[in-house]
C-alpha cells in the first residue's frame, strides 16, 4: 500500500514553544490530508481536514490559531502546535488520501508530543 | 450522536482461541466501514474495509468481518489468534463528507 511518513515520531518541548509535525505522502499525491489527535486509551478525534492549496477545515472545538495546518504541496502537510502547553501533550496522527479515493486513506506512524 | 460504537473496551482471549470484536454503526444511508489495528506508539494499519458487494470481507492477518445491514453491525473475527495480534482495534465509518469517524477502540490481549 501507499506510504505516509510522519515526522518526528517523538518530540518533547518546553511549555510556550511551538512544534511542527510533518506528514508526507511518499508515493502518491494527496490532495487531502487529515489530522487526528488521540488521548491515552481513547479513540482518534479528527482535528482538521486540509486540502492542498486551500485553508484547512477545522472540527468544532479545535482552535485553528493554536493548531496551524499548512498543506502547501500535494505531498506535504504540516501541523504546528503553537505556544504548546502540557494539556497539548498527545499522540497526533495524520492520514492522506488520493483524489476521489477517500476510502483509501493511509496513516502516518504518529507523533508523540510531550510538553513539559 | 455516536456514529460508531465498540461495546467492548477490552477483550482478553487465549492464544489459538477464536475472537470477535464488536462494532455497531448508526446511519440510515450507505456507509463505508473499516477496521484498523494500532500497535503501541504506532499509527493505524488498515485490516479490511467494506465498500459494497459481498458482506463478508476478508482482510490481512487472517481477520474477516461481516457487514450486517439489518443489525447495523460490522463485527471483526479471527478463528485463531496469535500473541502478535495483541493490539488496539478501531472500527471506523465514512459518513457524508469523506471523513473517517472512529469508535473508541477495543484492546485485544492474547494470553499465552
pLDDT tens string B4-58 = 899 999 999 999 999 999 999 987 677 889 999 998 877 889 999 998 889 999 9
**Average pLDDT score, chain A:** 89
The answer, yes or no, to whether residue A83 has pLDDT greater than 80, is yes
Q: Are A73 and A63 in contact (CB under 8 A)?
A: no
Write out chain A residues lying below 8 Å of B10, CB-based.
none
Q: Give me the pLDDT at residue B28, please.
A: 67
Pairing of strands B64-68, B73-78: antiparallel
**Average pLDDT score, chain B:** 90
CB-CB under 8 Å, A46 with B101: yes
Q: B6: which residues sit within 8 A by CB, 6+ positions away?
A: B21, B22, B23, B90, B91, B103, B104, B105, B106
The pLDDT tens digits for B74-92 are 999 999 999 999 999 999 9
Cα B77 from Cα B15, distance rounded (Å): 14
The answer, yes or no, to whether residue B2 has pLDDT greater than 70, is no
CB-CB under 8 Å, B101 with A6: no
CB-CB under 8 Å, A1 with B46: yes
The pLDDT tens digits for A5-52 are 999 999 999 999 999 999 999 888 888 899 999 887 778 888 999 888
Cα A93 from Cα B1, distance rounded (Å): 23
Write out chain B residues lying below 8 Å of A91, CB-based.
41
CB-CB under 8 Å, B104 with A97: no
Q: Give me the pLDDT at residue B98, please.
A: 62
Amino acid at each position: 500500500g501507499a506510504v505516509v511518513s510522519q515526522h518526528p515520531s517523538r518530540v518533547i518541548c518546553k511549555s510556550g514553544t511551538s512544534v511542527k509535525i510533518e506528514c508526507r505522502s511518499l508515493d502518491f499525491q494527496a490532495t487531502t490530508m487529515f489530522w487526528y489527535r488521540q488521548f491515552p486509551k481513547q479513540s482518534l478525534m479528527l482535528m482538521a481536514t486540509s486540502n492542498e492549496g486551500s485553508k484547512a477545515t477545522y472540527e468544532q472545538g479545535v482552535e485553528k490559531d493554536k493548531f496551524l495546518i499548512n498543506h502547501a504541496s500535494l505531498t506535504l502537510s504540516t501541523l504546528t502546535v503553537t505556544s504548546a502547553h502540557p494539556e497539548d501533550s498527545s499522540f497526533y496522527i495524520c492520514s492522506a488520501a488520493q483524489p476521489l479515493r477517500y476510502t483509501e486513506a493511509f496513516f502516518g506512524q504518529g507523533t508523540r508530543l510531550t510538553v513539559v | 450522536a455516536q456514529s460508531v460504537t465498540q461495546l467492548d473496551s477490552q477483550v482478553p482471549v487465549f492464544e489459538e482461541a477464536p475472537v470477535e470484536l464488536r462494532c455497531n454503526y448508526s446511519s440510515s444511508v450507505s456507509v463505508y466501514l473499516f477496521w484498523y489495528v494500532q500497535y503501541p506508539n504506532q499509527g493505524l494499519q488498515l485490516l479490511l474495509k467494506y465498500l459494497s458487494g459481498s458482506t463478508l470481507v476478508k482482510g490481512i492477518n487472517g481477520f474477516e468481518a461481516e457487514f450486517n445491514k439489518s443489525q447495523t453491525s460490522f463485527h471483526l473475527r479471527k478463528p485463531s489468534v496469535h500473541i502478535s495480534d495483541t493490539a488496539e482495534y478501531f472500527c471506523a465509518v465514512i459518513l457524508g463528507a469523506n471523513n473517517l469517524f472512529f469508535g473508541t477502540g477495543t484492546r485485544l490481549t492474547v494470553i499465552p
